[in-house]
Amino acid sequence: MTPNFFGWFCRDIAILVTAGLVLSELHAWQQNTTSVPLAVSASVVGFIFTYVLIYIAHEWGHWVGARLTRSDMPFAPYRSPLIGYFDPSKHSTAQFLSLSWGGVLAYLGASGATGFIFFGAPGPLTGGMAVAGLAFTVQSLAVDLPQIIKVHRHADPQTTNQAGTMPNLILKRTWQTWLPLAAILLIWNLAL
């Protein structure tokens, strides 16, 4: 089966609905107890599910950004974490930047929503969700922003993209940004 818009849309709606149900049930369960292990578990589960949801928004943001400039971005297989394949060698700098900023704007919006949820209903679950939003934003800006700035300053999109998406670089920037956030999550749970 060739991946298409409808298939990706259905796949991601199923993930969103499942995550929403799990988070909703966890929130209801958490309301009836003051258990520290449950609070920590709620934060961790809230973090993981919210991170996945923000990642999905981020990928759709890339797709929308690419489509706004009429870029050809074939859909990836459904098992892929990436929604599509964007070949910088076949596209203009403007198309690369549109795709990039689409992803950034999508995760900033989704991450901002987690902050509103947290301030509307503070607790371990929503604290984990807010930290996920912050973690995704900080980590993704550490990975994406240097590439966007270089390409904006006329660097070659293909070379910049290849260097900026090396797994070891992404992992390094993830740990550098997540260690302080993990400490915040731990302190948050101990303070409750």
pTM summary value:
0.85
The confidence score (pLDDT) of residue 31 equals 76
User: Which of 77, 80, 84 is CA-nearest to residue 62?
Assistant: 84
The confidence score (pLDDT) of residue 112 equals 92
Q: What percent of the chain has pLDDT over 70?
A: 98
What is the mean pLDDT of the segment spanning 61-74? Answer: 91
115 neighbors 128 (Cβ within 8 angstroms): no
Two tokens, residue 94 = 């403007």
Name the pLDDT band for 192 (thresholds 50, 70, 90): low
Q: What pLDDT digit, counting tens, does each position of 118-150 carry?
A: 888 887 788 888 888 888 898 888 889 999 999
188 neighbors 127 (Cβ within 8 angstroms): yes
Phi-psi region of 148 (alpha: psi -120 to 50; beta: other; left: phi over 0): alpha
Two tokens, residue 28 = 């209801």
The confidence score (pLDDT) of residue 98 equals 94
Q: Is the pLDDT of residue 189 over 70?
A: no
Highest-confidence segment of 31-45, 111-125, 144-158, 162-176: 144-158
Question: How many distinct structural domains can be found in the chain?
Answer: 1
The confidence score (pLDDT) of residue 166 equals 80
Q: Environment class of residue 98 by beta-carbon count within 10 Å: exposed (0-12), middle (13-18) or buried (19+)? A: buried
Q: Is the pLDDT of residue 184 over 80?
A: no
Name the pLDDT band for 30 (thresholds 50, 70, 90): confident
Q: How far apart are CA 172 and CA 176, in angstroms?
A: 6
Name the pLDDT band for 32 (thresholds 50, 70, 90): confident
The more confidently predicted of residues 44 and 64 is: 64
Please spell the DSSP secondary structure of the chain, one letter per residue.
----HHHHHHHHHHHHHHHHHHHHHHHHHHHT---HHHHHHHHHHHHHHHHHHHHHHHHHHHHHHHHHTT---PBPPTTSSSSB---GGGS-HHHHHHHHHHHHHHHHHHHHHHHHHHHHS-SHHHHHHHHHHHHHHHHHHHHHHHHHHHHHTT--HHHHHHHHT-HHHHHHHHHHHHHHHHHHHHHHHHH-
How confident is the prediction for the chain on average, in pLDDT? 86
Residue 178's domain spans which residues? 5-191
Angle at 20 between CA 16 and CA 24, to 5 degrees: 175
What is the mean pLDDT of the segment spanning 94-120? Answer: 91
133 neighbors 110 (Cβ within 8 angstroms): yes
